[in-house]
Amino acid sequence: MTPSPRREFFAYHPRQWRLMLALAAAGSLILTAWAMASAVRSAAPLEFARAGLSFGLVLAMLTVHHKLRPKPMWGVRVTPVSLTVSRPTTGTIEIPWSAVKDIRRSGAKRETVILFVGEDKRVMVTAHLFPSREEFEALASAIDEQRPTQVHDA
């Protein structure tokens, strides 16, 4: 039996979050329609404001839903030289392994990998951005395999 080849790219695809955002946007759209119907009936400025705020909530949820869609090369790339992490809102950052001071797992279910870079910077990669828990665990093991050995001075 041959071992499976090591992957170096782990794509983001937060299905659960996108589904929850779509359902919440649909619910907010229903509330917007209800508030707008009430505003038209009463013609009160406060009712129109409530409808506008509700519609703003719908737009905010759909914007985040759109930002979290799967895109080509959107994820984490683990290579022997560096780690490239795509951020949902700010683009990608490349971290050379020589800059990584420490790597830890955090959370009640160990659902976050925290990379400590330099003296005061940290990069967090969370499990909710991946399609499954198994995909996240494969990423975490790939990071552990590429992790530089730490030198401890006495």
* Model pLDDT for residues 70-97, shown as the tens digit of each residue: 888 888 898 888 889 888 777 888 888 8
Q: What is the domain range of residue 121?
A: 75-146
For residue 81, what pLDDT is reported? 85
Tell me: do 45 and 79 sit in the same domain.
no
Global pTM reads 0.73
**Residue 5 forms part of a structural domain:** no
Q: Between 44 and 4, whose confidence is greater?
A: 44
Strand duo 9-11 + 121-126: pairing: unpaired
Residue 152 lies in a domain: no
* Residue among 83, 82, 102 nearest 149 (CA): 102
Does any domain span residue 2?
no
The count of structural domains within the chain is 2
Q: Where are the beta strands (DSSP E) in 4-150?
A: 9-11, 75-78, 82-87, 91-96, 100-106, 112-117, 121-126
| 6 in a structural domain | no
pLDDT in the model for residue 80:
86
